[in-house]
């Protein structure tokens, strides 16, 4: 090669995304943004039509402008079937649901159905295709279930069909950022050709690539979520101690998190973890370990401990109000956390059930998740408490309320306007996330009670608030 001539990277393969829910859509747009030609497919025709026109069914910060940009650039397109996906894409990522089954095991039904349909579309072809499991599945699934099923239905072997694992590490509320700039990319491969293709599609991502076996990659995903759930649960349990001794859990965890061996993330106490991942993944890993005959007592206690924290949050409201029979309570924040419209495993559901069961009338509000919460509330088992009032504004929820409960720390709630206190029959804020900043908590026009913060006269008095020295 002549001196000074630049080497040119070979063109990257077209990426296909099967399943355009939260994770699949964010993944597709991240590839497109990194100039990887990307096509997506979802079984919902109405969703496909919306995405083609730059509209999304999902609320997620930064998602809509990114979608519109990549649709306009033609780097992201939507196809109408498996056959077209297979025809256009060389590397196909399976972003299909893996819901929790009744025993804690994941339900592989949606994935197996997708693999069969993909296998049918692959049948008869001769060009190499790499199928990548991005859905969260227990260790061993890609090699022991996905690969043999796909090869059987497609009538192919490793000469023209590769299978790999590439778990996602996206947090709702920051999903776009996490997809565009992941802390690490974990891939599980069993051959050099699969590794080479995945290195190619991730070439322009500014993230370290960790190459493992498929089973190891799957175990990384479950281990990560279990460990984060453990950190949250630890902070939640210490928060109950802080309440009794007169401390402030945020000050305590700030001191704990400054230890580099611990780190500050996921030490923010609240009413319990929610969302589509933590409880499902902890339960699935625990069940898988049980099947393997491996005792995991620590993992086995995480979900029950999380439930105990949610009941504690409801008790905190009951104690602060002084009895709930006949009261009107504003429940602010229905998503499992601020920044998303996802209500899966939201702590707002069991908290609402407890408060209504205790005799309160509940007026609920969320900036993004109101419709999703209305749907999931209507899907509960018959016989549970009912009678929520769905409010489209904060003011409507607070009107003549005996208390306001902040369940998700949306920025809109953090400003707490003086007129909001005047709307209430009793200006009491029970802050399950300690969302209100210090300067507002003691303003005088309302009473503030925070989860994990000792109330006046309890335990030892904490020093003036401020950063831990």
Q: CA nearest 346: which of 334, 356, 338, 357? A: 334
Measured between its terminal Cα atoms, the distance across the chain in Å is 60
Q: What is the pLDDT along the chain (469 residues), one digit of tens a residue?
A: 445 455 566 678 999 999 999 999 999 999 999 999 999 999 999 999 999 999 988 888 899 999 999 999 999 999 999 999 999 999 999 999 998 888 888 899 999 999 999 999 999 989 999 999 999 999 999 999 999 999 999 999 999 999 999 999 998 889 999 999 999 999 999 999 999 999 999 999 999 999 999 999 999 999 999 999 999 999 999 999 999 999 999 999 999 999 999 999 999 999 999 988 899 999 999 999 999 999 999 999 999 999 999 999 999 999 999 999 999 999 999 999 999 999 999 999 999 999 999 999 999 999 999 999 999 998 876 665 577 999 999 999 999 999 999 999 999 999 999 999 999 999 999 999 999 999 999 999 999 999 999 975 455 444 444 444 4
Chain center to CA of 63: 15
Q: How far apart are CA 93 and CA 166, in angstroms?
A: 8
CB 448 within 8 A of CB 233: no
Beta-bridge partners for 138: none
Alpha-carbon Rg for the chain in angstroms? 25
Q: How far apart are CA 396 and CA 119, in angstroms?
A: 52
Q: How far apart are CA 6 and CA 117, in angstroms?
A: 43
123 token code pair: 């049948």
Q: CA nearest 214: which of 191, 195, 190? A: 190
Q: How far apart are CA 108 and CA 261, in angstroms?
A: 36
In order of start, what are the domains of the chain with their CATH numbers? Answer: 15-212 (3.40.50.720), 226-450 (3.40.50.720)
* DSSP codes, 91-114: EEEE-----B-TTSSB--HHHHHH
pLDDT value for 383: 60
Among 277, 352, 356, 424, the one annotated catalytic: 277
Strands 91-94 and 76-78: unpaired
Q: Is the pTM of this model over 0.75?
A: yes
CB 25 within 8 A of CB 63: yes
Q: Can 277 be counted among the known catalytic residues?
A: yes
How many CA within 13 A on the CB side of residue 308?
12
Distances (CA, A) of 231 to 95, 269, 409: 27, 10, 19
């Amino acid at each position: 090669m002549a001196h000074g001539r630049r080497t040119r990277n070979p063109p990257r393969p077209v990426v296909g995304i099967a399943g355009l829910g939260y994770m699949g859509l964010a993944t597709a747009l991240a590839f497109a943004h990194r100039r990887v030609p990307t096509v997506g497919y979802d079984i919902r025709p109405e969703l496909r039509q919306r995405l083609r026109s730059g509209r999304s069914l999902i609320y997620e910060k930064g998602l809509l402008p990114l979608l519109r940009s990549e649709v306009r650039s033609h780097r992201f397109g939507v196809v109408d079937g498996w056959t077209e996906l297979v025809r256009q894409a060389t590397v196909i990522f399976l972003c299909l649901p893996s819901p929790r089954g009744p025993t804690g095991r994941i339900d592989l039904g949606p994935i197996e159905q997708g693999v069969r349909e993909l296998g049918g579309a692959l049948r008869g072809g001769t060009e190499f295709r790499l199928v990548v499991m991005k859905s969260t599945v227990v260790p061993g699934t890609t090699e022991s279930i996905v690969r043999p099923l796909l090869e059987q239905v497609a009538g192919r072997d490793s000469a023209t069909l590769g299978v790999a694992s590439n778990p996602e590490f996206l947090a709702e509320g920051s999903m776009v950022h996490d997809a565009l700039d992941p802390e690490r990319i974990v891939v599980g491969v069993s051959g050099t050709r699969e590794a080479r293709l995945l290195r190619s599609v991730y070439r322009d991502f500014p993230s370290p690539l960790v190459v493992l076996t498929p089973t190891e990659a799957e175990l990384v995903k479950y281990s990560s979520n279990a460990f984060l759930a453990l950190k949250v649960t630890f902070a939640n349990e210490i928060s109950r101690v802080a309440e009794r001794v007169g401390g402030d859990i945020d000050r305590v965890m700030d001191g704990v998190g400054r230890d580099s061996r611990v780190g500050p993330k996921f030490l923010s106490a609240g009413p319990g973890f929610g969302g589509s991942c933590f409880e499902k993944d902890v339960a699935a890993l625990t069940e898988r370990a049980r099947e393997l005959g491996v005792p995991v007592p620590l993992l086995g206690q995480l979900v029950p401990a999380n439930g105990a924290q949610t009941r504690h949050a409801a008790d905190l409201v009951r104690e602060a109000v002084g009895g709930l029979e006949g009261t009107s309570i504003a429940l602010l924040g229905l998503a499992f956390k601020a920044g998303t419209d996802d209500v899966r495993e939201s702590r707002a559901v069991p908290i609402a059930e407890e408060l209504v069961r205790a005799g309160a009338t509940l007026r609920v509000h969320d900036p993004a998740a109101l419709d999703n919460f209305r749907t999931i509330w209507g899907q509960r088992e018959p016989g549970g408490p009912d009678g929520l009032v769905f409010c489209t504004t904060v003011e409507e929820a607070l009107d003549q309320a005996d208390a306001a409960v902040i369940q998700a720390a949306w920025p809109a709630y953090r400003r707490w306007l003086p007129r909001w206190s005047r709307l209430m029959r009793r200006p009491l804020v029970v802050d399950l996330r300690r969302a209100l900043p210090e300067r507002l908590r003691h303003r005088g026009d309302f009473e503030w009670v925070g989860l994990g913060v000792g109330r006046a006269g309890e335990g030892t008095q904490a020093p003036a608030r401020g950063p831990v020295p």
